[in-house]
Amino acid sequence: MSNESEEKKSISIEVPTDVEKGTYSNLCIITHSQSEFIVDFAQIFVGQAKPKVRSRIIMTPDNAKRLLLALQDNVNKFEQTFGSIQIGTHDKTPNSHIPPITPFGSGEA
């Protein structure tokens, strides 16, 4: 017998046209408080004084954990199909000439 939390539910989502092209990010800063996680997606370019945040996502701790698990599941599926992801060795981003920085940070808000 399965309960409601174990059942997979289908959700139909709509992506507005002004959002569908996405936003490029090569830097992500993650902070948290007792009640929320804040994920800032930013861009950093050579000659730029400091990175500019392009998108901020605020979520509850339980949704942050769900995101973590969903990302891990998708990375595992990607690696099963395309091979292991080697961080920093195959950087083909438009700004791969930027000196290495820690791409993900964490801290308390």
What is the C-alpha separation between 62 and 37, in angstroms, rounded? Answer: 10
| Token pair of 9 as six digits | 């539910």
In the predicted model, is pLDDT for residue 7 greater than 60? yes
What does the pLDDT average to over 45-53? 88
The architecture (CATH level 2) of 22-83+102-109 comes to 2-Layer Sandwich (3.30)
- Check: pTM over 0.85? Answer yes or no: no
Task: Please tell me which residue, 55 or 91, carries the higher pLDDT value.
Answer: 55
SS3 31: strand
SS3 5: helix
SS3 73: helix
Predicted pLDDT at 35: 97
Q: What burial class does residue 39 get, using C-beta atoms within 10 Å of its C-beta: 0-12 exposed, 13-18 middle, 19+ buried? A: middle
